[in-house]
Amino acid sequence: MARRRRVRLLLAVIGLAVALAALLLLQRHERGARSELATIAGLRLAGQPVGGLDAAGLQRMLPRLARQRAAQRVLLRWAAGQRSVALSALGFGLDPALTAAALLSVGHAGSWLPDRLLRWQARRGRVEVPWQLTLDQAQALRFFERLAEAIDRDPAAPRLDLTRQRLRPGRAGYRLEPLRALATTEAALRSGHSEVELPLLPLRAPEDATLAALDIRHVLGQFVTVHSQADVDRDRAHNLRLVAGRIDGRVLPPGARFSFNAAVGARTEEQGYRTAAVIQQGELVDGMAGGACQISSTLFAAAFFAGLELLSSRPHTIPSSYIRLGLDAAVAYPETDLRLGNPYPFAVVIHVQVAQGQVRVALLGRPRPWRRVVFRREVKQRDPFGEVERRDPTLPAGQRVVAQRGVPGFLVQRQRLFFGAGPAPERIETRLLRYAVNPEIVRVGVGPPPAPGAPVEAPSPRPAPYRCDAEPLALEQ
């Protein structure tokens, strides 16, 4: 019995000694690990060997590597394309100090077994640390917002080829969400990847109509405006044809809504548009895709008489020469839109033609329920314009040239009257439209007298005043 007790006591002492020895070894390892300032052997930084370097060595090496990788490119992929972009253009940067701290922490956690395992794996080239990144979120979001503008594709409604009597089916679209794209890119780059698959939000295609279901024998409403065919206006005429091609043959199923900006898209040089005169802040200036507003205004007028829903429209700041005051509809991508709705139980097809100096829009479908649709307009207020002088050193001192005719401001009441079989209108829609005052702009010469025999710009006569057909006006179809 006593012998058994002595054996148990001896075993307990031996166990305690082993435990104390293990504890001492562990503490020694921890003190050694904390005192080590070198990266473990075999460690790699984004493919670059960095093992055995102390803090000073990393401080010398990492800024140089960061400069070499400053132009590192990231491949962004999405469903329909890809783009190679410099890391810096995305708003990301490489942080040598944070990267050094991350490298020195590998294998130095103070846990014996995990540290030993990491060191064993590192010696076999299996431990790689990514660069630690900085992020300028505002710059990154601006990048992805611009990318979204370039790659977003709106769903395409079905279109009718009126020449071949063939229906082209609709097409699904997609949209890049900048915040989601940034989060996906950041996660991939912080994990050491150089290729990123960007997620896109799918957009369903509008429901297709069938050719058999379309009845386009009747004109619900139409309108014609004229445009210049002079050589100086050829770029504007080009834009007219380009915009018309984007909406000609559009099918609006029953209850559908139409957005001019969604149908036509961004009006950029990459899309084939040219510079021509546009109205901007009350002045006629050269701008991209000049002429688009003539298509939108002609379409608006046709929709007015066709009885379509006028969901959203805005008049120009200057009355347009090609259309009656009150029937114009300004557009500017993406903020100013023309939106229409089809209130009928049948599909409506948009037909646009640009030919022989005319823009013609007809809305085709089954017979409309209205015998007559009337446009009635009355100018309620007329505000006089002033004069703005602009010093021009290219003109001799004292010479005056009218650069832009002044236009009064107008407050216009527009009504749309729907007549059925009876003599009185069954429905009346009324809207007030305001056209801003636009001053007459005069260039005043402040330059030296012209040299003898040099050509001189002739002083311009005062232009004829703008004459709105200000009397009450009624048109009907």
Regarding predicted confidence, which is higher, 112 or 390? Answer: 390
Residue 465 scores a pLDDT above 70: no
Residues 326, 392, single domain; the answer is no
**115-129, 207-221, 313-327: least confidently modelled range:** 207-221
Number of domains in the chain: 4
Residues 112, 224, single domain; the answer is no
**pLDDT grade for 72, boundaries at 50, 70 and 90:** confident
Residues 175, 217, single domain; the answer is no
pLDDT of residue 201: 92
Closest C-alpha among 295, 286, 279 to residue 241? 295
pLDDT of residue 472: 72
Amino acid making up residue 468: C
| Domain end call among 327, 349, 369 | 369
> In the numeric block, which tokens belong to residue 470?
């200000």
Q: What per-residue string of b and e applies to 331-360 under the rule 16 or more CB within 10 Å gives b? A: bbbeebbbbbbbebebbbbbbbebeeeebb
Residues 249, 336, single domain; the answer is yes
Residue 33 scores a pLDDT above 50: no
Residue 102 scores a pLDDT above 90: no
- Distance between CA 365 and CA 291 in Å, rounded? 27
Residue 49 scores a pLDDT above 50: yes
pLDDT of residue 282: 56
Give the tens place of pLDDT for each residue, 305-354. 999 999 999 999 888 889 999 999 999 998 999 999 999 999 999 999 99
pLDDT of residue 32: 47
Give the tens place of pLDDT for each residue, 272-281. 999 887 766 5
> In the numeric block, which tokens belong to residue 236?
């504007």
**pLDDT grade for 404, boundaries at 50, 70 and 90:** confident
Residue 464's SS3 state is: coil
Residues 213, 199, single domain; the answer is no
Give the tens place of pLDDT for each residue, 235-249. 999 999 999 999 999
**pLDDT grade for 173, boundaries at 50, 70 and 90:** confident
- Distance between CA 418 and CA 40 in Å, rounded? 85
Residues 21, 164, single domain; the answer is no
| Domain end call among 206, 223, 258 | 206
pLDDT of residue 264: 94
Regarding predicted confidence, which is higher, 4 or 314? Answer: 314
Residues 96, 239, single domain; the answer is no
pLDDT of residue 131: 78
pLDDT of residue 10: 54
Residue 68 scores a pLDDT above 80: no
- Distance between CA 374 and CA 304 in Å, rounded? 9
Strand runs labelled E in 43-194: 44-45, 48-49, 73-78, 81-86, 92-94, 128-129, 133-135, 159-161, 166-168, 173-175
Residue 75 scores a pLDDT above 60: yes
Residue 263's SS3 state is: helix
DSSP letters along 295-337, please?
A: HHHHHHHHHHHHT-EEEE----SS--TTS-TTS----BTTTB-
Residue 160 scores a pLDDT above 70: yes
Contacts with 115 (C-beta within 8 Å, 6 or more apart), sequence order: 33, 107, 108, 109
> In the numeric block, which tokens belong to residue 377?
């307009």
Residue 18 scores a pLDDT above 80: no
Please give the average per-residue pLDDT across 93-111, as a whole number. Answer: 81
Residue found under tokens 């010398």 = 60
Residues 198, 241, single domain; the answer is no
Residues 213, 347, single domain; the answer is yes
Please give the average per-residue pLDDT across 386-395, as a whole number. Answer: 91
Residue 87's SS3 state is: helix
pLDDT of residue 413: 96
Residues 376, 359, single domain; the answer is no
Give the tens place of pLDDT for each residue, 362-372. 999 999 999 99
Which of 99-103, 171-175, 355-359 reaches the highest mean pLDDT? 355-359
What is the percentage of the chain residues whose pLDDT exceeds 70?
85
Residues 232, 345, single domain; the answer is yes
Residue 30 scores a pLDDT above 80: no
**pLDDT grade for 421, boundaries at 50, 70 and 90:** very high
Residues 41, 187, single domain; the answer is yes
Which of 10-19, 110-119, 208-217, 405-414 reaches the highest mean pLDDT? 405-414
Regarding predicted confidence, which is higher, 276 or 180? Answer: 180
Residue 212 scores a pLDDT above 70: no
The whole domain housing 181 covers 36-206
Average of per-residue pLDDT values in the chain? 85
Residue 462 scores a pLDDT above 70: no
- Distance between CA 268 and CA 333 in Å, rounded? 10
Closest C-alpha among 301, 302, 269 to residue 287? 269
Closest C-alpha among 235, 216, 156, 171 to residue 350? 216
